[in-house]
Amino acid sequence: MMMLEVRDLHAYYGQSHILHGIDLDVGEGEIVSLLGRNGVGRSTTCKAIMGLVAPQGRVTFRGRQLAGLRSDLIARAGLGYVPEDRQVFPTLSVRQNLELGLKRAGRFGRWTFDDVFRLFPNLAARQNNPAGVLSGGEQQMLTMCRTLMGDPDLILIDEPTEGLAPLLVEQVGVLLAEIAGRGVSILLVEQKLTIALKISKRLYVMGHGQIVFEGSPADLAANAGIRQEWLEV
């Protein structure tokens, strides 16, 4: 069963036409990756789904039309969003940042403080420190975990490994597997092809604001032409 269905999605920044009729699906418990070079519209796709950019087209989540709703209502419908720019609250502690992810204070879903701190001991050790003193990689972990505290059924994650050290990239992979293992679907925007091929059930490749390929990791691995034209530098 498809949880998220996007059909003929268009989006604009002023007069610039960024998305040109995007179609994509994410099923129950799936990890689906959205690949492509910088500037092709991957982040805009996530923002349009979340209502942060005005969408034109159809975005349905469990049969409910989301296009045109406010972002907070989309989040309350069960979608989570991890932006690429690590939007932590720098003067609040790590623990306070995590608390802000809860839809209702003190009410936990699939994720608790203990879950987060078990996965990321660095956050546990610094839970009382201001988030602004964390490293860039630690802030990325915090942003992802704060979103999980809202207990989404589907989470959109934009470039989680960008600029991270190899050890943290590995930790991100572990977290993504843990998220999926708890029944949460993932739409992952990623540059690192090795990660996407390893953890995804299906992949989409974008080019010039359109979907240019859809298939399994094995399909993409076997298609050198698509990789060379749309992914490789």
pLDDT along the chain (233 residues), means of 10: 93 95 95 94 97 96 95 94 89 95 79 88 93 90 91 94 83 85 93 87 96 96 93 81
Question: pTM score, two decimals?
Answer: 0.93
User: Which pLDDT score is estimated for 173?
Assistant: 84
User: Which pLDDT score is estimated for 166?
Assistant: 83
- What's the CA gap between 186 and 208, in Å, rounded? 23
Burial call 199-216: b when 16+ CB within 10 Å, e when fewer: bbbbbbbbbebebebeee
User: Which pLDDT score is estimated for 207?
Assistant: 95
Write the DSSP symbol of residue 196: H
- What's the CA gap between 223 and 17, in Å, rounded? 29
The amino acid that residue 124 corresponds to is A
CATH number (3.40.50.1100, 3.40.50.300, 3.60.20.30, 3.90.1170.50) of 2-230 reads 3.40.50.300
Residue carrying the six token digits 């690429």: 84
User: Which pLDDT score is estimated for 161?
Assistant: 87
User: Which pLDDT score is estimated for 40?
Assistant: 95
